[in-house]
Structure 1
Amino acid sequence: MGRLIARLNAGLRVKIVIIASLLLTLPWFGYRFVLEIEKLLRQGQEQTLIGTARAIATALNERPALFSQQASFLPSVQHGRDLYVYDLPGSITIDGHLTDWPEDLDAKMHYYGRQYVRFSQRPYQQGQTDFYLITGRHQQQFYAAMKVKDQHTVLRRSNSHQVDRNDHLILALTTPQGEFQRYLIALEEGGQTSAWIITDELDEPNLFSPTNLMTAQWQPRQDGYSLEISMPLSLLGQRLSVSVYDVNHDTHRDVETIIGTANANTASDLGTVLLPSPEIERIVKGMGHSSSRIWVLDRHQRVLAQSGDIQHSDGVWATSVRYDEEDHGLGSWLDQHLLRPLYSTFLLSEPVPFQDKPANPALITGVNVDQALQGRGYAHWRASTDGKAMILSAAYPIWLNDKVMGAVVAEESTQGVQTLKNRALEQLFNVLLAIIIIAAVILFLFASSLSGRIRRLRDQAEQSIDAQGRIREAIIASSSKDEVGDLSRSLAGMVNRLGQYNHYLENLSSRLSHELRTPVAVVRSSLDNLSMSGLNHDEQRYIERAQEGIRRLGTILSSMTEATRIEQSLQGADMEEFTFNELISGCMQGYQFAFTERDFQVQVPERPVNITGAPDFLAQLLDKLVANAVEFSQPGSQIDVTLSQIGKFATVTVSNQGPLLPDDMADQLLHSMVSVRSQAHQDKPHLGLGLYIARLIVDYHAGEITIRNRHDCLGVTVTVTLPLSRTASP
């Protein structure tokens, strides 16, 4: 590579610029690095989400009471026959208009047509009579909404004793106590209905008895009518069927078609009804997993409980680092109007709003659900329903007596990870672009300066000798200490020696006799010239190393004398009563200006905390603790400083995020000459005197100081306890 560049027919500046162009590979390496970090983040998100599903499933394991009322013990479920009761966001006004049901009402309604015909006088024609049905609940009320297709609606006559000689519905159900009951809802004029309970007792004189436990309203439609039903949830057990009885002739009023979810004649023929479990939903919400969309399913993949919103489930923890802070400077303008559009066009894909709604909100399917219902936890990535985002879905089985009774499904989007990746790439590219531009400019200026010096040296060398080889003028030696300066001094010495030699040759005839008579003088002159030579490079390097050693020794002596000076000053310090709150607040304001790369979080009580001591030394104590926290934390991390009053003592804690203390080193750090700094922190000599000085100040004030790792294992906390003044109230 070096030979190829050397053979290149170009100037020094061009060659340096070509070499500097290798810096352009840094963005590519940075881009690959961020992509690898994104993979790690997604793997971590996957493991975390599986852990979330496992934690919730563990809370639901071996709890048969949660599933005994959910028809989860059935070997199979027939959709349409077995009904699902949706959890409604609010109460429903029973007016027959269906306007206050959820927007996705049509998607949730189940169609009942030819497959569900229970009786027909004539061969059933598709579309002759059918209906759509949805059931729901809110609080302690059960609701049903229907869209019935009926070409001719026959209503009950006013004051008629017959309630089944017209269009009507029959709801057959079992109560929570297991009793079989049937209710008839007859359509009347003006959208009104009447509800009747059907009695099958032989000694009952009337087959139909009016009841006010059930209310319903209907409204005409272009092809039939819509109907809303409401009744107390306490009437409904584990089985339910809804049947539509169609009457089309106004005179003989015979029932021509019966379409129902199940056979309504006996309790055993009814379909099951699944109510979302409020107890399971409370358990899920109580665990605080609001950052994920959670579903709890029974063994038939039906939803028992749901919590969370996928739009707020981006898989990223809350952070104090904000990426969208507005800045009105030139850099912000360039980033928003030039760099960010450029990145978005060629490198980045910004997350966009998306929709992800299951085709059937009551039935959750997927390969992860299938694996979980077979007893294995599983996670997989899938596209959202609109294809605009990737969704991570994890499922884990719920066990009961060594049998899988259901599954917990947790889902999150990758919007947060994608946003973090984009912000990281933007910042990385901005920094690398600035570094490349600055480095290119500096290298170009350096190459220009270097080539200019070389050209000047070339011109002096050409002008120093004439065409006959005589020395015309001396080369002015450069005072620079670099290689070009050495070359200049070497050429100057060479030209000087050539000049002397030429002068010697020119005067050889006149001086020959003198030189022969006095050879000793010639040797002495040569020895004198040799003694006048300057220091070489190795001697100069030894002197520089000695100077560096003296400087480090001076720093060490200054640090050692500081501890001695503190000890002597404490012996004559004046004690006074003052408010500790004001001292800490004032010092923290200075730290926030001095250490702008750290995020200081200060908490002091509003009530004055009075202590007796030396304010100057306590301020120096805070200086040592905060400086230590800053040194062992990363830029942008948070440092917490808290003052609290516990009984007769004031407690100050300084907590930072960073490396943890080694085992059995917490107490030793308070002694002199003890340090745990790694080689990366040894840019200057450290004798471990900072915490030792802090301990001297605390001991003088009759307090205690401790150093411990944080409970979350993310850093270290230093705690200082000082006694309150005698006049302070506990």
Structure 2
Amino acid sequence: MIRARIALGIRAQLLLVLTVFLAIPWLGYEYVRELERFLRDSQERTLAGTAQAVATALHDRPQLFEVRAAPFDTLPSERASDDVTLRPGAALETPESPEIGQILHGLSRTTARIWVVDRDQHVLARAGSLRHPSAASAGSAAEGSSISRFGAWLDREALQPLYSKVLQQPTEEFSDERSGGAVAAGRDVEGALAGILTIDRRPTADGRAIIVSAAHPIWVGDEVKGVVIVEETTNAVLVERNRAFARLFNIVLAALLVGSVALTLYASWLSSRIRRLRDEAEAAIDARGRVRRPLAGSNARDEIGDLSRSFGSALARLTEYASYQEAMASRLSHELRTPIAVVRSSVDNLALQPLPGDARIYIERAQQGLSRLANIITRISEATRLEESLADAERERFDLARVVAGCVDGYRAAYRDQVFDLRVPSGEVPFYGAPELIAQMLDKLCANAVEFAEPATPIIVALKHEENAVALAVANEGPPLPAKMQGRLFDSMVSVRQNRGDGEPHLGLGLYIVRLIAEFHGGRASAANRDDVQGVTVSVVLPRVRAVR
């Protein structure tokens, strides 16, 4: 089973790591929820304390409940603000006992609404209102003065609309079923009439607000004579919750934005250093594996700087080793020529002496071995000299078709038993390069084709003229290339020849020289099996660059 791998750069990886910090908004949301629960608990305790305080002031005062008129409201001014709708026969008049009115009047400045009812749930007095329009809009006005102009615009145009869709917003436009002159029976009233401090939470009829109420019994002796009900909406809690949510998430979003930008910039800088190191390492070695120039180590005191210095040190050692190998071939060829000449002269002198017939066989074998050894040294020297001479080779403008045709005429004279099929354009093929190197490259290609060609089969030498390049191909009929050798055929010391017993050494340097000359002209060499017949085609594509008139 093949698993697909996704390539992620350093910037993408760091941004992916940054997603871990997305847990911070969740933690902030949990914190806001805990804050909301704390505020709700505080609100309930405050309402319970207020109800207990009012009830304590009315305890053991039976005269407040013995003589009274019809239920009434002590504060007519509160009636209009609460949109009171009286039920038929439920008139609100001034109570006979001024003590209740004074107590409730002192508490009417709170944000709660206070009721005092008797056991029959007739309203004895009422103060305060559930509606406070200024509280619902206090959060946004306070925030605008503490942030910048751009932050205020962003908060107003983008964030607040988003928060308004996510969070429940407080509203003063809601229906209140207790806005009339009577208090409907509820869990809070029933619990208080049973002698228990009861806290209840109920939605309004339209579901647009939540009302929290605390009911405390009023005792006269051991008997419950009435109930104090203190009510308040959760709008204040919602305002504080939304304000905390907005402030917290604004900070989190700003931190994530700044962190993302900082990590992106850092990752870009880190990636640029790594890419620069990669480019320097690739430019330090050419296509033939030789070191062009040393790698300048970085002075940075981090891991990338240490890696750069390690690459520089490794390339320096590689340069020394490559120079040693290149010099060894030339030095070895030079050092072996004198011993070979001494042995050759000794064998030749020995062959002039009268020897038995059996000894002559060994003399001939020694001479053949010396000839092969001399040929090996000559070919190694040829490749070494070519590599050294390429840097000093002079280029000139010439007709490539004429050079190829002249070389093929020479091959026909040199290989009389071999047929050469020349295919060149009829006109001139202008090219800018070294003609002697082109001729040497074609010599290697044709010599290789002659060696592998089947008897009585033609060798095709074709030159194609293209728009920006020329293609030189040499094709022969013969054994195909092994698949494992097609990518290594132009390397040094690589050969696909079998031991034919002809006594000629095969070092695999011919096509290596072809590759050197092709790369010197900015081209490339390739070999492939033929499609029409069994055989091989070796092609060299040379770009026509730097052409002069």
Partner of 2:304: 484
Question: How much does 1:369 deviate?
Answer: 0.8
Q: Is the 8 A contact 1:276 1:305 kept in 2?
A: no
Residue 388 of structure 2 is aligned to residue 432 of structure 1: no
Partner of 2:125: 305
Q: Which of the numbers 465, 469, 478 marks the counterpart of 2:285?
A: 465
Partner of 2:400: none
Of the structure 1 ranges 412-421 and 278-287, higher mean CA displacement relative to structure 2 is found in 278-287
Partners of 1:391 and 1:276 lie apart in 2 by 30
Residue 395 of structure 2 is aligned to residue 408 of structure 1: no
Partners of 1:315 and 1:375 lie apart in 2 by 34
Partner of 2:93: 137
Partner of 2:171: 352
Question: How much does 1:374 deviate?
Answer: 0.3
Question: How much does 1:305 deviate?
Answer: 2.1
More strand by share: 1
Partners of 1:343 and 1:59 lie apart in 2 by 44
Q: Is the 8 A contact 1:86 1:137 kept in 2?
A: yes
Q: Mark the CA change 1:136 to 1:357 in structure 2 (over 3 Å): closer, same or farther.
A: same
Residue 15 of structure 2 is aligned to residue 59 of structure 1: no
Where does structure 2 lack aligned partners over 5 or more consecutive residues?
Answer: 332-549
Q: Is the 8 A contact 1:470 1:502 kept in 2?
A: yes
* Residue identity matched to 1:64: P
Q: Is the 8 A contact 2:123 2:183 kept in 1?
A: yes
Residue 182 of structure 2 is aligned to residue 362 of structure 1: yes
Task: Please give the per-residue CA displacement for 1:659-689, whole angstroms capped at 9, x wherever unaligned.
Answer: xxxxxxxxxxxxxxxxxxxxxxxxxxxxxxx
TM-score, length of structure 2 as denominator length: 0.52
- Structure 2 counterparts to residues 314-713 of structure 1, below 5 A: 322-323=142-143, 325=145, 329-345=149-165, 347-354=166-173, 355-358=175-178, 360-503=180-323
Q: Which of the numbers 49, 53, 57 marks the counterpart of 2:47?
A: 49
Question: How much does 1:389 deviate?
Answer: 0.9
Partner of 2:534: none
Partners of 1:103 and 1:340 lie apart in 2 by 30
SS at match of 2:300: coil
* Residue identity matched to 2:93: R
Q: Mark the CA change 1:326 to 1:108 in structure 2 (over 3 Å): closer, same or farther.
A: farther
Q: Is the 8 A contact 2:196 2:217 kept in 1?
A: yes
- Structure 2 counterparts to residues 260-279 of structure 1, below 5 A: 275=95, 277-279=97-99
Q: Mark the CA change 1:500 to 1:329 in structure 2 (over 3 Å): closer, same or farther.
A: same
Residue 105 of structure 2 is aligned to residue 107 of structure 1: no
* Residue identity matched to 2:110: S
SS at match of 1:358: coil
Question: How much does 1:325 deviate?
Answer: 3.8
Partners of 2:183 and 2:310 lie apart in 1 by 89
Partners of 2:126 and 2:74 lie apart in 1 by 9
Q: Is the 8 A contact 1:344 1:350 kept in 2?
A: yes
Q: Is the 8 A contact 2:74 2:127 kept in 1?
A: no
Partner of 1:21: 19
SS at match of 2:226: strand
Q: Is the 8 A contact 1:351 1:419 kept in 2?
A: yes
Q: Mark the CA change 1:361 to 1:471 in structure 2 (over 3 Å): closer, same or farther.
A: same
Residue 81 of structure 2 is aligned to residue 89 of structure 1: no
SS at match of 2:218: strand
Q: Mark the CA change 1:41 to 1:103 in structure 2 (over 3 Å): closer, same or farther.
A: closer
Whichever of the two has the greater Rg, that structure is: 2
Partners of 1:277 and 1:383 lie apart in 2 by 33
Partners of 1:303 and 1:109 lie apart in 2 by 14
Question: How much does 1:400 deviate?
Answer: 1.8
Q: Is the 8 A contact 2:85 2:180 kept in 1?
A: no
Q: Is the 8 A contact 1:13 1:448 kept in 2?
A: yes
* Residue identity matched to 2:88: M
SS at match of 2:143: coil
Q: Mark the CA change 1:67 to 1:41 in structure 2 (over 3 Å): closer, same or farther.
A: same
Q: Mark the CA change 1:412 to 1:102 in structure 2 (over 3 Å): closer, same or farther.
A: closer
Q: Is the 8 A contact 1:277 1:305 kept in 2?
A: no
Task: Please give the per-residue CA displacement for 1:426-458, whole angstroms capped at 9, x wherever unaligned.
Answer: 222222222222222222222221111111111
Question: How much does 1:136 deviate?
Answer: 4.6
Question: How much does 1:333 deviate?
Answer: 1.6
RMSD: 3.7
Partner of 2:113: 293
Question: How much does 1:104 deviate?
Answer: 7.0
Question: How much does 1:370 deviate?
Answer: 0.4
* Residue identity matched to 2:251: V
Question: How much does 1:101 deviate?
Answer: 11
Question: How much does 1:371 deviate?
Answer: 0.2
Q: Is the 8 A contact 1:293 1:313 kept in 2?
A: no
Q: Mark the CA change 1:48 to 1:136 in structure 2 (over 3 Å): closer, same or farther.
A: closer
Partner of 1:224: none
* Residue identity matched to 2:169: E
* Residue identity matched to 1:344: S
SS at match of 1:108: coil
Of the structure 1 ranges 55-64 and 499-508, higher mean CA displacement relative to structure 2 is found in 499-508
Task: Please give the per-residue CA displacement for 1:43-74, whole angstroms capped at 9, x wherever unaligned.
Answer: 2211221122122222222233333334xxxx
Q: Is the 8 A contact 1:314 1:412 kept in 2?
A: no
Q: Which of the numbers 104, 113, 131 marks the counterpart of 1:284?
A: 104
Residue 37 of structure 2 is aligned to residue 33 of structure 1: no
Residue 36 of structure 2 is aligned to residue 11 of structure 1: no
Question: How much does 1:326 deviate?
Answer: 8.5
Q: Is the 8 A contact 2:192 2:198 kept in 1?
A: yes
Question: How much does 1:493 deviate?
Answer: 2.3
Task: Please give the per-residue CA displacement for 1:439-495, whole angstroms capped at 9, x wherever unaligned.
Answer: 222222222211111111111112223344443221111122222122112222222
SS at match of 2:131: helix
Partners of 2:329 and 2:212 lie apart in 1 by 100
Q: Is the 8 A contact 1:62 1:399 kept in 2?
A: yes
- Structure 2 counterparts to residues 102-181 of structure 1, below 5 A: 107-110=86-89, 135-137=91-93
SS at match of 1:323: helix
Q: Mark the CA change 1:449 to 1:338 in structure 2 (over 3 Å): closer, same or farther.
A: same
* Residue identity matched to 1:89: P
Question: How much does 1:334 deviate?
Answer: 1.9
* Residue identity matched to 1:40: F
Aligned length in residues: 326
SS at match of 1:480: coil
Question: How much does 1:109 deviate?
Answer: 2.0
Q: Mark the CA change 1:490 to 1:366 in structure 2 (over 3 Å): closer, same or farther.
A: same
Q: Mark the CA change 1:101 to 1:325 in structure 2 (over 3 Å): closer, same or farther.
A: closer
Question: How much does 1:367 deviate?
Answer: 0.7
Task: Please give the per-residue CA displacement for 1:8-37, whole angstroms capped at 9, x wherever unaligned.
Answer: 323222222233233344333322321232
Partner of 1:261: none
Partner of 2:500: none
More helix by share: 2
